[in-house]
């Protein structure tokens, strides 16, 4: 069977599974809609957290970024892995004990202010919509290639699927769907990696294969060969970085601390019964995440090496079928500048004739390596599982921010549980439509869009959460001022230096402030937030005694009860 038929079969089966789970576990109360009733097992929650965490950026785009950036691409690995550890160990247990399952709920109660809650809701929506745009873009990329539809149609199909199980099942449906999605995505990620590792190096463990000698008996190490190929084409050596140290540090830090403000991950720690279970599920999730994250560098090396050897200096008339298929999507393009009929793939932009979207590398990798069609279709299903799992979690955050934090807590405090549940589902539906628009019109490739979401989270939420937990003198005036200043600064930098909305085109890297890219500027905006928060707090009244006592209490290990609504 060809790839298209295999894709219809495997993707169809996985979608049927997701929708079936959503029907089986649909939410009947607001507690089930928001936190799955608070009774999920640590193992299931660990797998669901891993699926929630590993978005289209992790599955589709991260290895693609590393393929083209080489050593510089490791900032995404370091930042996202370190960020999850920071969240799980430093923040989740305290937020869990506080008993509030949304970040705006925590900030509104900790800072005893509806103004703080309102600012937090706006920040949560900004972060979530920026993040979900990347997921919907990933869905569109997968559909456009493997179901042979354009990216916009692919995004719409993804919207319909995620709408069914997110709106119907709420957190309860999403949790058990994400367990299935984790199984699909990790199987889809590992099978081709193991296949290719055996073919190229004879080693069945991709993490070891990346550093092994080639299976052709030459005795040459795979990474040495890739460095040599890169040099021949004028690219920097794969194992050498070109980014400035301050930018590497800033991006890594922004990704790490931005994690702490990601509402869709934090809420996962409220779906278990006890703080002990939250810690256990965090540890299990880290193991599940590490399987993919330690494999991504190997896939990037395999894909990059195979790509160069397959297309560089090759007659266009003899290119393999996968090349022509990806050309149809517009994500890969050949322009014969010297009219010799050969593909010039070189670092020199004037001479280079091949344009490749970073986001296709993981998806095209099995095709480039000439793996069986069912493996190619499996990767498509895995990419969709990764994108849809995170999109569902983000849409739930958006709907709960509107229905719970805005309507229930501020506008209609007397709203019935049924009314709140209806409001949550309506807001989720609206959110899906907006997310689809951003998926069709994204500001860049998937991982870059997601990196900007992390920067926004770092600039807005991280200082307010950290100071709210560990500094009892922190007051509402300081928190609100810090969040507003940090968010506005980050948005300005994004708009000017990433999207180019203030100019015809984004300014060159030479004009970046302190030599820091938009993906890393969240670190600077976060530091400004801290300075503003602490300065304003020092010159304004201290919080009420009962609030200061709450801060003391949440740092004590005893007396941590169930998640509340």
Q: Report which of 49, 50, 55 is spatially closest to residue 390, judged by C-alpha positions.
A: 55
How many Å apart are CA 417 and CA 327, to the nearest integer?
51
> How far apart are the C-alpha atoms of 10 and 389, rounded to whole Å?
17
Residue 562, domain member (yes or no): no
Please name the helix (run of DSSP H) or strand (run of DSSP E) that holds residue 334, with its range, or none: strand 332-334
Flag whether 535 is in a domain. yes
pTM: 0.80
Give the distance from CA 170 to its chain's centroid.
Answer: 20
Burial letters 135-157, b for 16+ CB under 10 A, else e: bbbbbbbbbbbbeebebeebbbb
Q: How many domains does the chain have?
A: 1
Are 468 and 104 within 8 A, CB to CB? no
Q: How confident is the model at residue 561, as a pLDDT?
A: 47
Let me know if residue 329 belongs to a domain. yes
Q: Whole-angstrom Cα distance, residue 470 to residue 105?
A: 18
Which of helix, strand or coil describes residue 503? coil
Does residue 103 belong to any structural domain of this protein?
Answer: yes
Q: Which residues pair with 356 in a beta bridge?
A: 332
Q: Judge whether residue 316 has pLDDT over 80.
A: yes
Quick check: helix, strand or coil at residue 205? coil
CA 565 to chain centroid, in Å, comes to 27
Ramachandran area for residue 203 (φ above 0: left; ψ -120 to 50: alpha; else beta)? beta
pLDDT in tens, 198-216: 999 999 999 999 889 888 8
Specify the CATH number for the domain of residue 449. Answer: 1.20.1730.10
* 525 inside domain: yes
Is 559 among the domain residues?
no
335 or 407: which leads in pLDDT: 335
- Indicate if the alpha-carbon torsion angle 269, 273, 277, 281 is positive or negative: negative
Handedness of CA 289, 295, 301, 306 (dihedral sign): negative
Pick from 13-27, 57-71, 455-469 the range whose average pLDDT is largest: 455-469
Average pLDDT over residues 536-546: 90
Q: Domain of 52?
A: 3-554
Residue-level pLDDT at 462: 87
User: Of 132, 112, 105, 22, which is closest to residue 403 (Cα–Cα)?
Assistant: 105
Average pLDDT of the segment spanning 237-256: 85
Answer for the pair 173, 165: CB distance below 8 angstroms, yes or no.
yes
Which pLDDT does position 389 carry in this prediction? 74
Range name among 204-208, 434-438, 498-502, 540-544 with the lowest pLDDT average: 498-502
In a domain, residue 561? The reply is no
Residues 11-54: tens digit of each pLDDT: 888 888 877 877 776 655 555 555 544 567 788 888 888 887 77
Question: What is the number of alpha carbons within 13 Å of residue 427 lying toward its C-beta?
Answer: 24
Confidence band, pLDDT 50/70/90 cuts, at residue 489: very high
Are 263 and 124 in contact, with CB atoms under 8 Å apart?
yes
Query: 291-307, pLDDT tens digit by residue?
Result: 988 999 999 999 899 88
Return the pLDDT at 206.
92
**Residue 312 belongs to a domain:** yes
Tell the residue number behind the tokens 């740092």, with chain if given.
555
Question: For residue range 346-392, what is the model confidence (pLDDT) as tens digits?
Answer: 888 888 888 888 778 888 888 888 888 888 888 888 888 877 777 77
For residue 546, list its beta bridge partners: none
User: Do the Cβ atoms of 164 and 146 come closer than 8 Å?
Assistant: no
Collapse the DSSP code of 356 into the 3-class scheme (helix H, G, I; strand E, B; otherwise coil) and give the result: strand
Strand (E) or helix (H) holding 392 = helix 373-400
């Amino acid at each position: 069977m060809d790839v298209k038929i295999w894709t219809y079969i495997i993707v169809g089966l996985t979608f049927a599974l997701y929708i079936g789970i959503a029907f089986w576990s649909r939410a009947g109360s607001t507690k089930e809609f928001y936190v799955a009733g608070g009774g999920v097992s640590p193992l299931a929650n660990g797998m669901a957290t891993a699926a929630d965490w590993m978005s289209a950026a992790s599955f589709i785009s991260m290895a693609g970024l590393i393929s083209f950036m080489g050593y510089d691409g490791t900032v995404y690995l370091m930042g996202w892995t370190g960020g999850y550890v920071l969240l799980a160990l430093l923040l989740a247990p305290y937020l869990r004990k506080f008993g509030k399952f949304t970040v705006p709920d925590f900030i509104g109660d900790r800072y005893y202010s509806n103004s703080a809650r309102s600012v937090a809701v706006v920040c949560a929506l900004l972060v979530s919509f920026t993040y979900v745009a990347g997921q919907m873009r990933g869905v569109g990329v997968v559909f456009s290639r493997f179901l042979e539809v354009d990216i916009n149609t692919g995004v719409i199909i993804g919207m319909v699927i995620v709408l069914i199980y997110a709106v119907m099942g709420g957190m309860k449906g999403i949790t058990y769907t994400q367990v299935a999605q984790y199984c699909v995505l990790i199987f889809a990620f590992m099978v081709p990696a193991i296949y290719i590792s055996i073919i190229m190096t004879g080693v069945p463990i991709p993490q070891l294969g990346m550093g092994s000698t080639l299976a052709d008996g030459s005795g040459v190490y795979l990474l040495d060969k890739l460095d040599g190929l890169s040099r021949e084409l004028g690219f920097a050596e794969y194992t050498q970085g070109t980014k400035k140290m301050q930018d590497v540090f800033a991006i890594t830090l922004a990704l790490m601390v931005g994690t702490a403000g990601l509402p869709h991950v934090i809420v996962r720690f409220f779906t278990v019964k006890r703080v002990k279970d939250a810690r256990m599920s965090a540890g299990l999730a880290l193991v599940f995440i590490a399987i993919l994250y330690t494999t991504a560098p190997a896939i990037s090396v395999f894909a990059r090496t195979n790509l160069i050897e397959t297309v560089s200096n090759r007659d266009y008339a003899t290119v393999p079928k996968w090349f022509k298929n990806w050309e149809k999507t517009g994500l890969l393009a050949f322009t014969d500048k010297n009219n010799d009929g050969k593909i010039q793939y070189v670092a020199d932009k004037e001479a280079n004739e091949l344009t490749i979207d970073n986001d296709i590398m993981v998806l095209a990798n099995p095709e480039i390596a000439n793996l069986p069609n069912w493996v190619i279709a499996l990767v498509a299903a895995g990419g969709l599982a990764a994108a849809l799992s995170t999109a569902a979690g983000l849409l739930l955050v958006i709907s709960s921010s509107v229905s719970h934090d805005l309507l229930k807590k501020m506008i209609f405090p007397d709203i019935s549980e049924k009314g709140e549940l209806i409001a949550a589902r309506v807001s989720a539906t609206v959110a899906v439509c907006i997310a689809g628009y951003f998926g069709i019109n994204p500001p860049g490739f998937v991982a870059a869009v997601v990196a900007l979401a992390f920067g926004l989270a770092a600039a807005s939420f991280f200082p307010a959460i950290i100071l709210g937990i560990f500094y009892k003198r922190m007051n509402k005036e300081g928190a609100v001022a810090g969040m507003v200043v940090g968010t506005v600064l980050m948005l300005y930098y994004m708009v000017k230096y990433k999207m180019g909305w203030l100019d015809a085109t984004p300014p060159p890297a030479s004009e970046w402030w302190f030599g820091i890219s938009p993906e890393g500027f969240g670190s600077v905006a976060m530091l400004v937030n801290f300075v503003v928060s602490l300065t304003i707090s020092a010159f304004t009244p201290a919080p009420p005694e009962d609030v200061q006592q709450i801060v003391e209490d949440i740092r004590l290990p005893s007396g941590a009860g169930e998640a509340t609504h």
